[in-house]
C-alpha cells in the first residue's frame, strides 16, 4: 500500500516539530557555533530551507512535464556548490529569521499540495527521475533529509 498525502504530511509535521523542539533548546550563540563541517546549526537550518524551497519550486514543472527542468537539475548535479551558495546567501539571517523561512516554505508546500487533485498525489512515477508517488517523494526528499540532519546535529550537540 502506498503512502497517502495525509500520512506524508503527518510525518513531515512530526519531524519538523522534533527539529524545532531541539533547536528551541539551543541558545543563539550555540546556534551560530560551527559544529557540522563548516556549518553551524543556523547554517543547517538555512540548508534545509533552501532544499525545501528547491523541492517546492521544482514540483509544478516536474508534475506538468514529467521531468526535472534543466536549471533545477543543474542544482542537484552540482549539489555542493548549490548548498554552499544557498547557505552563504542566508548567513546574515538570525536564528529567528532562519526559523521563519523554514515555516514560510513549509506553508508554500502545504498550499501547493492542497491545490493538487488526488489522482496527481497517487500517480506512480510522476516524473522520470522518481519511481514512487508524490507523497513518497515528500518523505524521502524532505522528511528523511531533515531527519538525517537532525540526527547528525543531535550526535554532535546532544
43 burial via Cβ count (<10 Å: 0-12, 13-18, 19+) = buried
Mean pLDDT along residues 7-26? 97
Confidence of residue 47 (pLDDT cuts 50, 70, 90): very high
- The pLDDT assigned to 71 comes to 83
| Length, in residues, of the chain | 158
Confidence of residue 69 (pLDDT cuts 50, 70, 90): confident
**Percentage of residues in the chain with pLDDT exceeding 70?**
99
Mean pLDDT along residues 16-33? 94
Given a cut of 70, whether residue 73 has pLDDT beyond it is yes
Residues β-bridged to residue 36: 39
Mean pLDDT along residues 72-93? 91
Nearest residue to 99 (alpha-carbon basis) of 158, 20, 153: 20
Average pLDDT of every residue of the chain: 94
Given a cut of 80, whether residue 44 has pLDDT beyond it is yes
Given a cut of 80, whether residue 158 has pLDDT beyond it is no
List, in order, residues 6 or more apart from 155 with CB less than 8 Å away.
none
- The pLDDT assigned to 36 comes to 84
Largest Cα–Cα distance in the chain? Answer: 47
**pLDDT top residue among 63 and 77:** 63
Mean pLDDT along residues 61-71? 91
- Cα gap 122→118, rounded to integer Å: 6
- The pLDDT assigned to 15 comes to 98
Tell me the angle at which helices 95-114 and 41-65 cross, rounded to the nearest 10 degrees.
Answer: 20
Amino acid at each position: 500500500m502506498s503512502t497517502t498525502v495525509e500520512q506524508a504530511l503527518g510525518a513531515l509535521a512530526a519531524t519538523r516539530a522534533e527539529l524545532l523542539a531541539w533547536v528551541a533548546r539551543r541558545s543563539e550563540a550555540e546556534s551560530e557555533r560551527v559544529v557540522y563541517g563548516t556549518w553551524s546549526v543556523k547554517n543547517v537550518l538555512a540548508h534545509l530551507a533552501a532544499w525545501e524551497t528547491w523541492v517546492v519550486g521544482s514540483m509544478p514543472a516536474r508534475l506538468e512535464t514529467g521531468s526535472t527542468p534543466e536549471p533545477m537539475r543543474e542544482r542537484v548535479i552540482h549539489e555542493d556548490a548549490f548548498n554552499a551558495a544557498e547557505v552563504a546567501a542566508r548567513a546574515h539571517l538570525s536564528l529567528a529569521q532562519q526559523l521563519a523561512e523554514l515555516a514560510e516554505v513549509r506553508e508554500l508546500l502545504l498550499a501547493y499540495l492542497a491545490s493538487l487533485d488526488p489522482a496527481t498525489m497517487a500517480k506512480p512515477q510522476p516524473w522520470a527521475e522518481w519511481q514512487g508517488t508524490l507523497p513518497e517523494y515528500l518523505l524521502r526528499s524532505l522528511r528523511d533529509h531533515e531527519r538525517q540532519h537532525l540526527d547528525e546535529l543531535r550526535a554532535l550537540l546532544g
